[in-house]
Copies of this chain bind each other. A is one copy, B any other.
Amino acid sequence: MVIESATTLKEKLPNKDLKFGATFTDHMLEIDWDSKNGWHAPKISPYHNFEMNPACSALHYSLQCFEGLKAYYDPKLDKIRMFRPMENMKRMNVSCERLHFPSFDHEQVMQCIKQLIRMERDWVPKGSGYSLYIRPAVISTHPFIGVAPAESVKFFTILSPVGPYYPSGFSPITLYADDKYVRAWPGGVGFAKIGGNYAPTIRPALEAAELGFSQILWLFGPDHYVTEVGTMNQFFFWKRKDGRRELITAPLDGTILAGVTRKSILEMSREWGEFEVTERPFTIHEVIEAVDDGRLIEAFGAGTAAVVSPVNGFHYRGKDYKIPLNPEKPSEQAGPLTQRIWDTMEAIHYGATPHEWSELIE
């Protein structure tokens, strides 16, 4: 590993001025690969612009994939923690495989990322809801405008200190259930964290925003199966017709991103054993029926950026449907299950609750 330290350091913003994804730290990690020599030596150097040939296929054919995870400051131990980072590394290899990018050794690359975080440990903001967002990515650096496998790629990682997604506590979102745009489909690439899945979502999100909705609830197929919300996985918590309470989310059928937060919520809920936890295809009509019957208890999106994002309603085909947050405490901005998941996850993230999901960076 080649390490070149920055000679002048950037000024760190106070926590209150942190904006998601707009501030970057002093250093970055780069690991180049080419088809002749394989992976080159990893390099950590001052944050700098890339020199990119305008013909690079990352810029024409979207030969690019990325990951998103976070590092947290543990105030008890005065150490930095990461949350299930190998899950992200594994998923990145799935994305790389789909793009015919070279695979990489999870462990070795994670060691490089940890080294970068060690160098930037003063950049990890302190306090509940604050973290250092870690953005690994792989892009083609092959200057060739034929649609062809990349003969050279760059793995890189940049870091961005971030504040809570909702600075003033939870802020419930209202969804626009869309049957005009389709995010992913069977035989497509919805399961992979590749660039091409994201650009097409920006315009639909703006159109929903113009109608007054925070996010798109992505539907699929003529029966309008519920798939994801914005760039998050979507969960509903309802009482089934047989009276059993159930937490439900769409299954990993190839159209759904295998969220690490999604997986963690499913695992912890199953361990609690207090209600059914189900991954199966379900339609917006089932959700509407549950709303109409008064069986829908809570709804939330789940992802690395927001952890959980309470949903207070959705719009579908001209009609608004309300979802309870906390009927017993109307002033609360999240239902009891959403809040409990948040609290449990946060306690693990920052080390308040020891858990194997949280790894110390020694």
Counted per complex, copies of this chain come to 2
Residues from 98 to 155 in A contacting B, C-beta threshold 8 Å: 98-100, 133, 135, 137, 139, 143-149
Check A54–B60 contact: CB distance below 8 A: no
- A182 contacts partner chain B, Cβ-Cβ < 8 Å: yes
> Which chain B positions have C-beta within 8 A of A195?
59-62, 195-196, 199
Provided the pairs A21-B146, A145-B160, A201-B147 are in contact, do residues A50 and B54 lie with their beta carbons within 8 angstroms?
A: yes
Check A58–B61 contact: CB distance below 8 A: no
> Which chain B positions have C-beta within 8 A of A139?
59
Segment touching B, from A31-39, A185-193, A286-294, A341-349: A185-193
Minimum distance in angstroms from A311 CB to a CB of chain B: 18
- A198 contacts partner chain B, Cβ-Cβ < 8 Å: yes
- A206 contacts partner chain B, Cβ-Cβ < 8 Å: yes
In the assembled complex, the Cα of A24 lies from the Cα of B54 at a distance in Å of 10
A46-78: CB near B (< 8 Å → 1, else 0) gives 010111111100111111101000000000000
Residues from 1 to 53 in A contacting B, C-beta threshold 8 Å: 20-22, 24, 28, 47, 49-53
> Which chain B positions have C-beta within 8 A of A21?
55, 144-146
Check A198–B231 contact: CB distance below 8 A: no
Those 3 A-B pairs whose CB atoms lie nearest each other, nearest first: A196-B196, A182-B187, A62-B195
- Besides the known contacts A59-B64, A147-B202, A194-B196, 17 further A-B residue pairs in the complex with CB atoms under 8 A apart: A20-B146, A22-B143, A22-B144, A49-B51, A49-B52, A50-B53, A54-B156, A54-B158, A55-B158, A60-B195, A64-B199, A99-B200, A100-B202, A133-B145, A148-B202, A188-B200, A194-B199
